[in-house]
């Protein structure tokens, strides 16, 4: 998908991004020991879980959830190739290094526990191997742009959702298959780290060139999980299965607000991001069309967008920025005392009229 903005980073950005990757490589966290998991394959029997599945969630659903995890994780090289090509095309050696030396090797370990689980449910070794080979050989059509900021934004969303998927599996397995649950949680923890790393990369690029914030929006709106193209019969049922398992979509919306507020870096940019999303999704902001709100805020400048950025955090119950004295800090020096009190009332009014769907779509309603 073509971007609505031009990708550009000033020379000052590359050293910061290289230093960030250096830090990641120096402190990668606890990696998954695949040999340990394979040696304990007999403890990955999840047959007993079937009898304790939640009402309305069938054995077929359960195997589908596990198989989707295994197949999408085993296709790591397909996604890695997209990041490698983007890094070369846009002269981003830091991204190529992260992809080749950190992300791809780490992701290669993530499907390991799921194959023994599926074997315990009656699937044959030959069948699972055949399906994995087919997925690895299948062409992956990337949904979003290939610039570094679009790729890291894609990484934030994809890793966050995958983190939740493995957490969902761990919860299903916890009582009847504790070691299998532990292994799913090992994968989840790695995805949590990946989300943070991609968020930090995105934040550096937005800070260096705030005009690229609209490219973050581009990616958020065109994003699709890779399973929808690689494994359509399973990937297209992910939201259905999440609904059956009563996933808290509102909590996910709050997480997205927090993550992308951190990536935006300032309350003004947070507000700009929300308005851009609302405009493109066509959601009203209170009684007004989003384009009208955007035009008005463009006239007001920083204070208007900053107020909206704070209102988003208030809407989902996240804390507002505070100064070193623990006072509420709007980011505008003249908003203190009585002015901050007036601003707080305005913020609450705006907050009550924000539609959460503008942030994460219909699932947040």
What proportion of the chain, given as a percentage, has pLDDT over 70? 83
Tokens representing residue 23 in the block: 């830090």
At 265-292, the pLDDT tens digits run 988 888 888 878 877 877 666 666 667 7
Residues 155 and 227 in one domain: yes
Residues 181 and 314 in one domain: no
Counted domains in the chain:
2
What proportion of the chain, given as a percentage, has pLDDT over 90? 67
- Between these two residues, 15 and 283, which has the higher pLDDT value? 15
Last residue of a domain, one of 247, 278, 305: 247
At 33-58, the pLDDT tens digits run 999 999 999 999 999 999 999 999 99
Residues 269 and 238 in one domain: no
Last residue of a domain, one of 191, 216, 247: 247
Residue 160: predicted pLDDT: 97
SS3 288: strand
CB 221 within 8 A of CB 277: yes
CA atoms in the 13 A half-sphere facing the CB of 244: 18
| Mean pLDDT estimate for the chain | 87
Q: At what angle do helices 148-173 and 249-264 cross, to 10 degrees?
A: 150
At 156-197, the pLDDT tens digits run 999 999 999 999 999 999 999 999 999 999 999 999 999 999
CB 80 within 8 A of CB 9: no
Name the burial class of residue 204, with classes exposed (0-12), middle (13-18) and buried (19+) by CB atoms within 10 angstroms of its CB.
buried
Residue 260 DSSP code: H
At 318-350, the pLDDT tens digits run 887 754 344 444 444 444 555 566 667 767 767
CA gap 340, 322 in Å, rounded: 12
Residue 37 in any domain: the answer is: yes
Domain extent at residue 301: 260-364
Residue 4 in any domain: the answer is: no
């Amino acid at each position: 998908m073509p971007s609505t903005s031009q990708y550009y980073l000033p020379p000052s950005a590359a050293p910061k991004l290289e230093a960030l990757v250096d830090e990641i490589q120096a402190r990668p966290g606890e990696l998954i020991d695949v040999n340990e998991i394979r040696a304990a394959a007999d403890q990955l029997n999840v047959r007993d879980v079937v009898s304790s599945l939640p009402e309305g969630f069938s054995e077929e659903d359960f195997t589908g959830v596990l198989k989707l995890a295994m197949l999408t994780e085993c296709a790591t090289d397909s996604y890695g190739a997209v990041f490698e090509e983007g890094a070369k095309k846009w002269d981003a050696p830091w991204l190529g290094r992260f992809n080749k030396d950190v992300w791809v090797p780490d992701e290669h370990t993530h499907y390991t526990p799921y194959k023994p689980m599926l074997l315990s449910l009656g699937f044959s070794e030959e069948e699972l191997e055949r399906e994995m080979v087919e997925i690895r050989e299948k062409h992956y059509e990337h949904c979003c742009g290939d610039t570094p900021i679009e790729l890291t934004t894609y990484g934030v969303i994809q890793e966050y959702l995958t983190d939740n998927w493995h957490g969902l599996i761990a919860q299903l397995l916890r009582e009847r298959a504790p070691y299998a649950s532990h292994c799913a949680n090992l994968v989840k923890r790695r995805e949590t780290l990946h989300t943070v790393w991609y968020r930090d990369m995105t934040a550096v690029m937005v800070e260096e060139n705030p005009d690229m914030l609209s490219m973050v929006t581009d990616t958020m709106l065109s994003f699709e999980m890779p399973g929808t193209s690689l494994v359509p019969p399973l990937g297209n049922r992910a939201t259905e299965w999440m609904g059956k398992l009563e996933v808290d979509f509102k909590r996910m919306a709050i997480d997205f607000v927090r993550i992308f507020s951190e990536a935006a870096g300032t309350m003004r940019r947070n507000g700009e991001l929300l308005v851009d999303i609302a405009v493109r999704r066509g959601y009203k902001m209170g009684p007004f069309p989003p384009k009208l709100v955007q035009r008005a805020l463009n006239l007001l400048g920083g204070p208007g967008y900053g107020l909206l950025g704070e209102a988003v955090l208030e809407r989902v119950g996240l804390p507002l920025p505070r100064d070193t004295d623990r006072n509420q800090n709007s980011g505008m020096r003249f908003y203190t005392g009585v002015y901050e009190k007036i601003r707080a009332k305005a913020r609450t009014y705006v907050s009550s009229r924000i539609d959460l769907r503008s942030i994460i779509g219909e699932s947040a309603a």
